[in-house]
Structure 1
Amino acid sequence: MDQLQLYSYWRSSAAYRVRIGLNLKGLAYETIPVHLVRDGGEQHAEGYREINPQELVPVLKHGDRMLRQSVAILEYLDETWPEPALLPATSRDRQRVRAIAQAVACDIHPLNNLRVLQYFDNTWNVPQPERDEWVRHWIVGGFAAIEAMLNDHPSTGEFCEGNIPGLADCCLVPQVYNARRFGVDVAQFPTIARIDKACLALRAFDGARPELQPDAPQPN
């Protein structure tokens, strides 16, 4: 098998999703750190723009191919290495899983990622407390919707879809990490909190934690 290389930043929730997916598949990979803050952001360097014209992480290199966009990468992994599956067998259940994943990746995350917060700071001089409140507002609203999608739904099991972790969990857990980072009380979303706890008890999720990545700051 061609070597897998993941261009990643330790605190990027999008890269976090892909790390979980790779771990669930049992796929070995090399981490290539891309520091999103140092020197104005290494993702903006000319050399990295050739890797990803969007100047974002993650990028997964598989052989000669550069794979971009975290959810698309996760689906690529599922199609290339079908077992264990990240998506359920039926089209109805796959649609539900994708809807939960996209509620995070398309609706919550784009409103509070680094590019948005840096624009608030550098262009509009929005103070830090107001930026943090912006992040919390969109996470809380998004989580309220996802909680309703999960709560008492017959397909919700130990994880977002049944009792096997998959694509939706890959997206949800990193967003819970972000929520806690910005001071959101996740306990107000008991189903999300329960699923997050069940996921983090698994080695695939635990090993993908931001603080365990090779480019994470080391404690003094």
Structure 2
Amino acid sequence: MQLHSFFNSSTSYRVRIALALKGLDYDYRAVNIRAGDHHATRYVEQVNPSAAVPALQDGDFTLGQSLAIIDYLDARYPEPRLIPAEPALRARVLELSSLIACDMHPLNNLRVLGYLQTVLMVSPEQKGAWYMHWVHEGMKGVERILERHGSGAWCFGDAPTLADCCLIPQMANAQRMGCDLAGYPRSVAVYEHALTHPAFEAAKPQKQPDFVAA
């Protein structure tokens, strides 16, 4: 199994967490998205037609998009299960995961921030304000869901799920970008608990072979 990943990509981070939770070994294939390696013809044609990370290769099967990859891993390697089978809990996990992956992340990923700065010519201060605005808009929703429906040390219960795989990278990126997360105590508690787990520790950006200090 091979994972095409970039150390600071939160989508790659999600999949690294899932692989670590399942105890699956893989070859790490670094794709430097800052240098544009994800747009290389060979990568797009042979690995990921979306020209993005992550991409998982499992034998002859290749798949992009982090949520699809984690769903595949759950079906192919079901223990521990990250997307619950019970309908109501499954829906709740997917609700929170989708809020992060579909509402928050797309507004603040590297290509959007790059477009704001290089094409629309916004200032670094304006780019930072954009980032923080959308983080706080999304985190307010995350916090409300966890307050109403969360339980246990993790987002939903006593074991990590897809929701935790999505939340922890989002929180790490928000911290790195200087966002004040004090207003989201339930989310912070889950984040701090996750960082004590070996799988989440192993998946950190700083632990990856292509890590470069900013």
SS of 1:32 mapped into structure 2: strand
SS of 1:98 mapped into structure 2: helix
Q: Which runs of 4+ in 1 moved over 3 A?
A: none
List aligned pairs for 1:8-157, cutoff 5 A. Answer: 8-38=5-35, 41-50=36-45, 51-153=47-149, 155-157=150-152
1:210 and 2:209 matched: no
The aligned counterpart of 2:157 is: 162
Give me the whole-angstrom Cα distance separating, in 1, the residues matched to 2:38 and 2:122.
Answer: 23
| Aligned length, in residue pairs | 213
Q: Which runs of 5+ in 1 are unaligned?
A: none
Shift of 1:89: 3.1
Q: What is the TM-score normalised by the length of structure 2?
A: 0.97
Q: Which runs of 5+ in 2 are unaligned?
A: none
SS of 2:83 mapped into structure 1: coil
Shift of 1:70: 0.1
Question: Given that residues 82 and 162 in structure 2 are in contact (C-alpha distance below 8 angstroms), is that contact kept between their aligned partners in structure 1?
Answer: yes
Q: What is the TM-score normalised by the length of structure 1?
A: 0.94
1:178 and 2:173 matched: yes
SS of 1:186 mapped into structure 2: coil
1:6 and 2:3 matched: yes
SS of 1:7 mapped into structure 2: strand
SS of 1:151 mapped into structure 2: helix
Give me the whole-angstrom Cα distance separating, in 2, the residues matched to 1:159 and 1:133.
Answer: 30
Give me the whole-angstrom Cα distance separating, in 2, the residues matched to 1:188 and 1:207.
Answer: 28
Q: Deviations over 1:171-220 (max 9, x none)?
A: 0000001110111112210000000011110000011000110000169x
Q: Which amino acid aligns with 1:33?
A: A
Give me the whole-angstrom Cα distance separating, in 2, the residues matched to 1:101 and 1:218.
Answer: 28
Give me the whole-angstrom Cα distance separating, in 1, the residues matched to 2:140 and 2:25.
Answer: 35
Give me the whole-angstrom Cα distance separating, in 2, the residues matched to 1:218 and 1:130.
Answer: 24
Q: Which amino acid aligns with 2:23?
A: G
Please report the RMSD computed on the Cα atoms of aligned residues, expressed in angstroms: 1.2
Q: Deviations over 1:70-108 (max 9, x none)?
A: 011001101111111102231111000000001000000
Give me the whole-angstrom Cα distance separating, in 2, the residues matched to 1:194 and 1:164.
Answer: 14
User: How high is the sequence identity, in percent, across the aligned residues?
Assistant: 44
Q: Which amino acid aligns with 1:19?
A: R
SS of 1:188 mapped into structure 2: coil
